[in-house]
């Protein structure tokens, strides 16, 4: 494969709108802003280095020399994305665990309101940067301010803890899946309308929507969301007790003076499930970051319309996974439901790794129709391993793991893609499918062991 294939140099009449129409996936929440901000970084950096995107010939032209300016823009954009995300994650890592654990005593509503205001503040900083044409380094300030308020990961922690507070063990998996499906539905709607709006009116108005939506979310949480735990007025926020509570989750469960074999096994399962969650979400994030680049370049050479439909198909899987999970729960245990979801994900990734036509690419998306069935099962299993007074600390740690997944996925898959182009263009997707074999094996082994234990206990009692 020629090097120019990897850069997806499109004809002038299409390339000028490609970046405009990369879908605004999940625009309404923190990481949901990243396509917009990435596009803005690309355009600003392109303007700074004098790159206009038209210096190479068409996508089908695989004999042209690589454009050094495009490579420079790609590199600078990737670096600034990394700096911005790393800065937000580093600050948010401490704030998420602090607020999440504190919410077990202080209440869930504050951890829904404060991060929403922080995200609105971040959007406001981004708007100031755009209006005044400030250096892109100011984006980092907005990200840090959002991180200090807890960032989107704190909202996730608060929402999932709220669901755990208000559900029983039998319905928890499905209710967690409903919450995840809401994220997918938001992403699907944003994918359909975002690109056209961005192309018609530029960056400013979409970011005003981000600002208004986060303010509306904070107002809604303040006015209409009832508290799910009894707040303790004496609960202190700024204390190391909250971080120690997260540590205790993974160091011991229950009374440390009475560590039984059952308690140890619960602790091991907590570690095993969080490791499975890390691998599954890393593959989700990593493959998602490469889809647009994979579709833009040869041999697919998709335009804005197909890219929008492809992103909508990805997010539609949230709803199909929800329906599939609900159906399979009637006859299968949750663990086996998650294995079916992982099998769907692996099959779809293998097909996508080989896709050289539009039909085959959409076939891969179709085979992934249950790929989001695994994560709600893992979240619910983790929730059932801890007590009601530890749900905030648990989901705060899960949110931190999810933030770590984003960083690992971005660095791993974006490095793997150019490094393996000469071997197999779709290798990162195949690599993701192979990674998913690990959680598949772990979940299957844990479930088999639990079933054997239950059968022995039933036999002993009878």
Q: Which of the residue ranges 18-22, 83-87, 267-271, 458-462 would you say has the lowest mean pLDDT?
A: 18-22
Give Cβ neighbours of residue 273 (< 8 Å, ≥ 6 apart): 378, 381, 382, 385, 446
Q: Which of these, 103, 208, 212, lies nearest to 165 by C-alpha position?
A: 103
What is the average per-residue pLDDT within 175-187? Answer: 85
Q: Quickly tell me which residue has 């309101």 as its tokens.
A: 113
**Phi and psi angles of residue 70, each rounded to the nearest 5 degrees, phi first:** -65, -40
Q: How confident is the model at residue 292 (pLDDT cuts 50, 70, 90)?
A: confident
Per residue in 365-381, pLDDT (tens digit) is 999 999 999 999 999 99
Q: What is the pLDDT of residue 153?
A: 87
Total Cβ atoms within 10 A of residue 425:
22
Whole-number Cα distances in Å, 384 to 170, 261, 311, 345: 10, 18, 33, 25
What is the average per-residue pLDDT within 282-305? Answer: 84
Question: What does the alpha-carbon distance between residue 116 and residue 30 come to, in Å, rounded to a whole number?
Answer: 9
Task: Indicate the CATH number of 3-58+65-225+258-454 among 1.20.1250.20, 3.40.50.740, 3.40.1280.10, 3.40.50.300.
Answer: 1.20.1250.20
Give Cβ neighbours of residue 222 (< 8 Å, ≥ 6 apart): 109, 113
Q: How confident is the model at residue 462 (pLDDT cuts 50, 70, 90)?
A: low
Q: Which two tokens stand for residue 448?
A: 């088999």
Q: Which of the residue ranges 73-77, 188-192, 219-223 would you say has the lowest mean pLDDT?
A: 188-192
Q: How confident is the model at residue 64 (pLDDT cuts 50, 70, 90)?
A: low
Greatest mean pLDDT among 4-18, 42-56, 224-238: 224-238
What is the per-residue DSSP string for 275-288? HHHHHHHHHHHHHH
Whole-number Cα distances in Å, 419 to 3, 52, 328, 415, 422: 11, 26, 40, 6, 8
Q: Which of the residue ranges 119-128, 177-186, 425-434 would you say has the lowest mean pLDDT?
A: 177-186
Per residue in 14-34, pLDDT (tens digit) is 333 333 333 333 333 443 455
Whether 150 has a pLDDT exceeding 70, the answer reads: yes
What is the average per-residue pLDDT within 160-185? Answer: 90
Whole-number Cα distances in Å, 219 to 8, 18, 115, 139, 209: 43, 36, 12, 25, 15
What is the average per-residue pLDDT within 50-64? Answer: 52
Per residue in 407-447, pLDDT (tens digit) is 898 889 888 888 888 889 899 999 999 999 999 999 999 99
SS (H, E, C) 23-75: CCCCCCCHHHHHHHHHHHHHHHHHHHHCCCCCCCCCCCCCCCCCCHHHHHHHH
Q: Which two tokens stand for residue 255?
A: 């009374």
Whether 57 has a pLDDT exceeding 60, the answer reads: no
Q: How confident is the model at residue 305 (pLDDT cuts 50, 70, 90)?
A: confident
Q: Which two tokens stand for residue 331?
A: 């006859």
Three-state secondary structure call for residue 365: helix
Question: What does the alpha-carbon distance between residue 268 and residue 446 come to, in Å, rounded to a whole number?
Answer: 10
Per residue in 103-116, pLDDT (tens digit) is 999 999 999 999 99
Greatest mean pLDDT among 19-28, 82-91, 252-261, 400-409: 400-409
The CA-based angle 20-23-29, given to 5 degrees, is 120
What is the average per-residue pLDDT within 106-129? Answer: 93
Rg for the chain, CA atoms, rounded? 23
**Phi and psi angles of residue 139, each rounded to the nearest 5 degrees, phi first:** -60, -35
Q: Which two tokens stand for residue 320?
A: 């199909």
What is the average per-residue pLDDT within 347-360? Answer: 95
Q: Quickly tell me which residue has 């992982």 as its tokens.
A: 342
Q: What is the pLDDT of residue 232?
A: 86
Q: Where are the domains of the chain?
A: 3-58+65-225+258-454
Q: Are 124 and 211 in contact (CB under 8 A)?
A: yes
Question: What does the alpha-carbon distance between residue 66 and residue 404 come to, in Å, rounded to a whole number?
Answer: 33
Give Cβ neighbours of residue 327 (< 8 Å, ≥ 6 apart): none
Q: What is the DSSP letter of 206?
A: H
The pLDDT mean for the chain works out to 82
Q: What is the pLDDT of residue 421?
A: 82
**Phi and psi angles of residue 433, each rounded to the nearest 5 degrees, phi first:** -65, -40
What is the per-residue DSSP string for 444-457? HHHHHHHHHHHHHH
Q: Which two tokens stand for residue 421?
A: 């182009």
What is the average per-residue pLDDT within 89-93? Answer: 84
Q: Are 189 and 181 in contact (CB under 8 A)?
A: no
Total Cβ atoms within 10 A of residue 72:
16
Q: Which of the residue ranges 124-138, 152-166, 294-308 would you say has the lowest mean pLDDT?
A: 294-308
Q: Which of these, 304, 355, 342, 365, lies nearest to 437 by C-alpha position?
A: 342
Q: Specify the higher pLDDT residue, 338 or 28.
A: 338
Q: 158: number of CA atoms within 13 Å, CB side?
A: 30
Residue 131, class by beta-carbon neighbours within 10 Å (0-12 exposed, 13-18 middle, 19+ buried)?
Answer: exposed
Whether 56 has a pLDDT exceeding 60, the answer reads: no
Give Cβ neighbours of residue 456 (< 8 Å, ≥ 6 apart): none
Q: Which of these, 242, 265, 224, 258, lies nearest to 392 by C-alpha position?
A: 242
Whether 149 has a pLDDT exceeding 60, the answer reads: yes
Q: Specify the higher pLDDT residue, 201 or 428.
A: 428
């Amino acid at each position: 494969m020629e090097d120019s294939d990897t850069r997806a140099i499109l004809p002038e009449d299409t390339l000028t709108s490609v970046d405009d129409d990369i879908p605004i996936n999940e625009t309404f929440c923190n990481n949901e802003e990243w396509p917009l901000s990435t596009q803005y970084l690309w355009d600003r950096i392109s303007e700074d280095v004098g790159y206009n995107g038209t210096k190479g010939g068409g996508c089908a032209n695989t004999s042209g020399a690589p454009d050094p300016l495009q490579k420079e823009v790609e590199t600078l954009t990737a670096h600034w994305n990394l700096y911005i995300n790393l800065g937000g994650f580093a600050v948010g890592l401490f704030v998420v665990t602090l607020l999440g654990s504190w919410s077990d005593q202080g209440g869930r509503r504050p951890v829904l309101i404060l991060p929403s205001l922080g995200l609105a503040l971040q959007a406001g900083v981004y708007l100031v940067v755009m209006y005044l044409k400030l250096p892109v380094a100011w984006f980092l300030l907005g990200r840090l301010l959002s991180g200090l308020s807890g960032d989107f990961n704190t909202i996730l922690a608060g929402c999932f803890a709220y669901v755990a507070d208000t559900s029983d063990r039998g319905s928890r998996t499905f209710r967690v899946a409903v919450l995840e499906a809401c994220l997918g539905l938001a992403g699907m709607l944003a994918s359909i309308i975002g690109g056209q709006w961005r192309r018609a009116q530029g960056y400013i108005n979409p970011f005003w929507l981000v600002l208004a939506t986060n303010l509306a979310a904070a107002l809604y949480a303040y006015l209409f969301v009832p508290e799910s735990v009894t707040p303790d007025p004496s609960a202190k926020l700024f204390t190391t007790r909250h971080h120690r509570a997260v540590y205790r989750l993974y160091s011991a469960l229950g009374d440390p003076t009475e560590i039984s074999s059952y308690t140890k096994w619960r602790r091991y399962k907590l570690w095993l499930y969080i490791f499975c969650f890390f691998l599954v979400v890393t593959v989700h994030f990593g493959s998602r970051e490469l889809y647009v680049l994979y579709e833009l370049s040869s041999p697919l050479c998709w335009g804005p319309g197909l890219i929008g439909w492809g992103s909508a198909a990805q997010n539609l899987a949230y709803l199909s996974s929800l329906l599939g999970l609900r159906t399979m729960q009637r006859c299968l245990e949750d663990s086996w439901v998650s294995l079916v979801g992982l099998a769907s994900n692996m099959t779809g990734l293998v097909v996508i790794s080989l896709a050289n036509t539009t039909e085959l690419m959409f076939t891969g998306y179709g085979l992934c129709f249950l790929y989001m069935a695994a994560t709600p099962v893992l979240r619910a299993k983790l929730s059932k391993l801890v007590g009601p007074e530890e749900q905030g600390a648990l989901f705060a740690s899960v949110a931190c793991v999810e933030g770590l997944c984003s960083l690992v996925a971005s660095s791993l898959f974006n490095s793997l893609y150019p490094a393996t182009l000469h071997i197999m263009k779709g290798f990162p997707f195949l690599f993701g499918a192979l990674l998913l074999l690990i959680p598949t094996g772990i979940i299957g082994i844990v479930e088999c062991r639990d079933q054997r234990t239950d059968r022995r206990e039933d036999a002993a009692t009878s």
